[in-house]
Structure 1
């Protein structure tokens, strides 16, 4: 199992924070580059300027989003039959 990279310590007063955009029906959009540590301890990296991280666990490219969340059916209200 590969070792996790050591976190780089930076001064929080001078460092510009990364922006993460959260959408209720989609992935987390992050400014890149990013490194993601997976459950097994392995680390994957993307050097893209914007990265979409899967939050539905349906992606075949997990942790990267492949838009599989778009095919999932929305839960319906039992009484009205409309989307909840």
Structure 2
């Protein structure tokens, strides 16, 4: 890789222009559209909390349905083995 050779033909003005040209090509982050890490983590935590609550509600519903099914089997006598 070749570097910029500083020699007697290089003027300070050229060096300044070269540095400005390089720096102008670097993309900076836009502060208007960026989120802080804390905000991003808070949003992700909220999503996970909502998902956890939904899963817990579904589990409670399954437990309730299971209890109803067991009660139904017990009252009809289908869960007993014949001897």
Q: Settle same-fold status: TM greater than 0.5.
A: no
Please state which band the TM-score falls in when normalised by the shorter chain: under 0.3
Higher strand proportion: 1
TM normalised by structure 1 equals: 0.22
TM normalised by structure 2 equals: 0.23
